[in-house]
């Protein structure tokens, strides 16, 4: 198999992301909303369009990273072995121990069956970027996938959207056991019956392909070996991504928790400065005409705690309104700053980061040269420059992930039949649908019924007026009669349009298939579709092909035609 590429404009994303990606693609660095008079690159420490940025960032890592690469490598090797990562993964983890090694990090919530396609696209981009930077910097660069198993948004994590054999989208969810509210995904128990239910649903939906049995076996084996929903994600992600050299990192794994302990203690010790820095970042973004992506409460300590241990619910840690102390929301427990910092070093498994501090803690634990980010994450980082500075760090090189729509041969043929190309979905499909309806309408249904309504309204106006003048009850009955006639006209028009649609059913059905495949449920394919139907038809070689794509710039959205 191979991929034939066609650019289709800018990826979906907010104004700040589009300005950043546009500048990196060769557009103006000041792109953005009216009045944005500071180049968007001023929001970041390093930029993809600057050829000298990787070397400067690597030099900063040499200066800022305080961790032990050998200890990090041992922790990653141990985890890779337990996750069944294989020889390629273990070789990547071993390379982290080399002096001067760097990592390209990406990450995502631990979604069911790996969640939407963008999870895979982020990892593939990280693998491609690591290869490029290793060649450029002449030092080891390893791709690492940070699985966000600490997240407790189970509604979002517990979903996989699969397109069935008829092209309809079906949602698979786990039957979660007992009370799981507030638990991190990495603490949600995974009974064998839950895995069996997911596999049964997946088996009923997947297309019959050369690789279907292998895809099901991978999902089943990794699920049966996992104790939690988060572990299933890590095992499955490692099984899919390991051949690309990607090392999956579970931040709830105790040895890896310890590597971030100094970062947690630093966040606690610098809490007032961090809160002030985050406020300045928000002010800067707003001052330049953008809407901040992350709302920040000044009293939020930007950390969670597990008061009952990491297998229990996690609670937000708050700063006291008066004084330097802290307390847990909804728990009543309070701590002094020194007490809390000591706990972070002594019992790091009791703490986890939030949307603000996760990337900061990541860079205390890892020698991060670059972070591969989705559109929302790019906007997050645009707020964080001052926050990094408050902890004595510079942010990594923020690299937009690959944005891709996979187009299978049957859909390629339908696109050609209707004269539709890259970037024409959904707008082009809607226009083509209207065109087909017009072409199949020999009597001009819309004009016909518009004239009928205008004539009826004109005639009834006089009748209603004259009857109402003669008798109020007759006027009321006339108005009711007008409403019934109007309803009958609406019904007749619907029937006429139904006949019209039946006559053009083949062409309209083809357009529905195109839209369902490329713009499912009203949004980009990469944000909904799960990878398993593609694996069933195309096998693991598809991931190799995607990983082989250039990671940008430019950062255009691409259509990838599978051939």
List per-residue pLDDT tens for the chain, 563 residues long. Answer: 899 999 888 888 899 998 888 775 554 443 444 333 346 888 999 999 889 999 999 999 999 999 999 999 999 999 999 999 999 999 999 999 999 999 999 999 999 999 999 999 999 999 999 999 999 999 999 999 999 999 988 888 999 999 998 999 999 999 888 788 889 999 999 999 999 999 999 999 999 989 999 999 999 999 999 999 999 999 999 999 999 999 999 999 999 999 999 999 999 999 999 999 999 999 999 998 899 999 999 999 999 999 999 999 999 999 998 888 999 998 889 999 999 999 999 999 999 999 999 999 999 999 999 999 999 999 999 999 999 999 999 999 999 999 999 999 999 999 999 999 877 888 888 898 888 877 777 788 888 999 999 999 999 998 889 999 999 898 899 999 999 999 999 999 999 888 877 766 788 889 999 999 999 999 999 999 999 999 999 999 999 999 999 888 888 899 999 99
Alpha helices in 159-251 (DSSP H): 192-205, 212-224, 229-241
How far is it, in rounded angstroms, from Cα 146 to Cα 72?
14
Task: Note the pLDDT of residue 483.
Answer: 92
Buried b (16+ CB within 10 A) or exposed e, 506-516: ebbebbeebbb
Helix-, strand-, coil-residue percentages of the chain, each rounded to 5: 55, 15, 35
417: left (phi over 0), alpha (psi -120 to 50) or beta: alpha
Quote the tokens at residue 121.
């696209």
pLDDT of residue 39: 64
Instruction: Give φ, ψ of 160 to 5 degrees.
Output: -140, 125
Residue 441: the pLDDT is 77
Structure tokens at 354: 């939030």
Ramachandran angles phi, psi of 373, nearest 5°: -120, 145
Tokens of 342: 């000591």
DSSP code at position 520 = G
Please tell me the distance from the alpha carbon of residue 110 to that of residue 104, in angstroms, as a whole number: 19
Q: According to the model, what pLDDT value does residue 143 have?
A: 98
Cα–Cα distance measured from residue 399 to residue 378, given in angstroms and rounded to the nearest whole number: 8
Please state, in angstroms and rounded to a whole number, the distance separating the CA atoms of residues 315 and 313: 7
pLDDT at site 388: 97
Rounded-to-10 torsion of CA 21, 365, 142, 5:
-20
Q: Which residue has the tokens 């990787």?
A: 54
Confidence (pTM): 0.88
Distances (CA, A) of 516 to 403, 498, 527: 18, 21, 13
Q: What is the pLDDT of residue 31?
A: 41
Q: Which residue(s) pair with 144 in the sheet?
A: 105, 247
- d(CA 130, CA 113) in angstroms, rounded, equals 25
- pLDDT the model gives residue 234: 98
Which residues face 371 on adjacent strands? Answer: 105, 398
Helix (H) or strand (E) holding 12, with range, is none
3-state SS assignment for residue 78? helix
Residue 420's SS3 state is coil
State whether residue 347 is helix, strand or coil.
coil
Cα separation, 159 vs 377, whole angstroms: 21
CB 106 within 8 A of CB 247: no
CB 188 within 8 A of CB 109: no
Half-sphere CA count of 550, side-chain side, radius 13 A: 10
Tell me which residue has tokens 């996750």. 83
The residues facing 399 across adjacent strands are 372
Q: At what angle do helices 86-95 and 69-83 cross, to 10 degrees?
A: 170
């Amino acid at each position: 198999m191979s991929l034939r590429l066609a650019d289709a404009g800018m990826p979906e994303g907010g104004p700040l992301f589009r300005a950043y990606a546009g500048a990196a693609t060769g557009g103006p660095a000041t792109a953005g909303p009216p009045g944005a008079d500071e180049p968007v690159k001023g929001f970041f420490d390093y930029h993809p369009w600057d050829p000298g940025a990787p070397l400067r960032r690597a030099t900063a890592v040499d200066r800022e990273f305080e961790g032990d690469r050998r200890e990090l490598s041992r922790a990653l090797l141990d985890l890779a072995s337990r996750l069944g990562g294989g020889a390629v993964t273990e070789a990547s983890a071993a390379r982290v121990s080399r002096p001067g090694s760097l990592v390209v990090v990406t990450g995502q919530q631990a979604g069911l069956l790996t969640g939407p396609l963008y999870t895979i696209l982020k990892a593939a981009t990280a693998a491609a970027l690591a290869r490029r930077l290793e060649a450029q910097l002449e030092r080891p660069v390893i791709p690492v996938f940070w699985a966000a198993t600490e997240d407790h948004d189970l509604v979002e994590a517990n979903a996989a959207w699969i397109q069935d054999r008829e092209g309809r989208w079906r949602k698979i969810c786990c039957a979660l056991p007992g009370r799981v509210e507030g638990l991190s995904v990495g603490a949600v128990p995974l009974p064998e019956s839950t895995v069996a239910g997911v596999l049964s649903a997946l088996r009923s939906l997947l297309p019959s392909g050369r690789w279907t049995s292998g895809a099901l076996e991978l999902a089943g084996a990794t699920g049966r070996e996992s104790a939690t929903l988060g572990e299933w994600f890590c095992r499955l992600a490692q099984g899919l991504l390991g051949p690309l050299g990607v090392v999956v990192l579970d931040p709830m794994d105790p040895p890896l928790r310890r590597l971030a302990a100094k970062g947690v203690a630093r966040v606690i010790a610098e809490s007032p400065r961090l809160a002030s820095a985050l406020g300045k970042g928000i002010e800067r973004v707003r001052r330049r005409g953008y809407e901040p992506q992350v709302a920040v409460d000044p009293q939020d300590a930007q950390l969670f705690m597990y008061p009952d241990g990491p297998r229990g619910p996690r609670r937000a840690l708050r700063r006291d309104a008066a004084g330097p102390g802290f307390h847990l929301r909804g728990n009543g427990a309070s701590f002094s700053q020194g007490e809390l910092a000591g706990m972070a070093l002594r019992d790091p498994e009791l703490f986890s980061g939030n949307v603000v501090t996760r990337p900061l803690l990541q860079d205390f634990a890892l020698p991060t040269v670059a972070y591969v980010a989705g559109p929302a994450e790019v906007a997050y980082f645009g707020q964080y420059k001052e926050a990094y500075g408050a902890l004595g760090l510079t942010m990594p090189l923020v690299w937009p992930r690959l944005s891709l729509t996979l187009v299978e041969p049957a859909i390629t043929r339908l696109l050609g039949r209707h004269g539709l190309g890259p970037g024409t979905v959904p707008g082009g499909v809607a226009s083509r649908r209207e065109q087909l309806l017009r072409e199949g309408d020999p009597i001009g249904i819309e004009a016909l019924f518009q004239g009928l309504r205008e004539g009826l309204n004109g005639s009834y106006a006089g009748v209603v007026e004259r009857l109402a003048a003669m008798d109020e009850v007759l006027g009321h009955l006339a108005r009711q009669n007008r409403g019934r006639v109007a309803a009958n006209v609406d019904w007749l028009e619907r029937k006429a349009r139904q006949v019209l649609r039946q006559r053009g059913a083949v062409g309209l059905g083809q357009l529905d298939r195109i839209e369902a495949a490329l713009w499912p449920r009203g949004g980009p394919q990469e944000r909904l579709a799960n990878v398993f139907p593609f694996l069933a038809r195309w096998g693991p070689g598809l991931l190799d092909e995607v990983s082989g794509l250039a990671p940008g710039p430019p950062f255009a959205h691409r259509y990838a035609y599978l051939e």
